[in-house]
Structure 1
């Protein structure tokens, strides 16, 4: 019998694997949280599928999402990234990634881990929504508004409320799997 999934992932095996194995599962490792911050910020204005298809290229281009290395990127390195056909070559997003790596380190210094900081917005545990259809899944929330505002105050770029909400979904801070999806109750 075929598993019932959220309908957004029906496109192909890549999408289904991401949905089944990652999306909505709580992430507490700073390295993975940063990876999703980078990917989500590049996704702004594009489809997630576009980013997912290029994920391995991003991983190679951005030193395995090592935020300590990225925070030290030179203008030569950012120029090199601008000529990398495997990623989204948007100068503002590339520069934002370098900036966000620096801000990420500042938050770690203040809170011990970035995970402690970001998960504090949901009191350390996933918010469980009960969407019946994709139309019931919001693009933002009061929490994503507050988190995006705080990130902006801290100097982060390309992380508005919609991007932040997508990040919250990807890292399991919010569970928006449809009520009949098999992953929901895992």
Structure 2
């Protein structure tokens, strides 16, 4: 499954941030998480699942709504609006976080970087998300890193980082399950 962020880093040698076409996550963000997993499926299968954003709700448990805001191939400038639930806590009821993402950098079958705001009642978070896809023996290593900024997440960095960790690791688990399913690995 997913490895904890910075699993191979030490205090003296922190892990270098992921990049796509030279751009990475927000270097000044206090809330950040990085993780990765190896998926035993063809790169084209994994790439298709990740970039066919309109189909995310069919395989990704945390995505409750999705709308592509442009047409044509997934590319730099592609934009999409999606929703994911926010669990209730002692001060707020359960609600949905609406995220509008815009692809800033993309290299086909290699990397994606998108940015955008996530909003809910009384909440505004700016995020930067990078994905790297690297062929390895028997599969593809999928690495992801995200940073978040905003008063709400910066008010409790450990809690916000834990929420981000849970979300990214669940995303990788769902992507791995979908990509490794026999129906996705048939020759095409």
TM-score range relative to shorter protein: under 0.3
Calculate the TM-score normalised by the size of structure 1: 0.26
Calculate the TM-score normalised by the size of structure 2: 0.26
If asked which structure has higher relative contact order (CA below 8 Å, sep 6+), I would say: 1
Higher strand share: 2
Higher helix share: 1
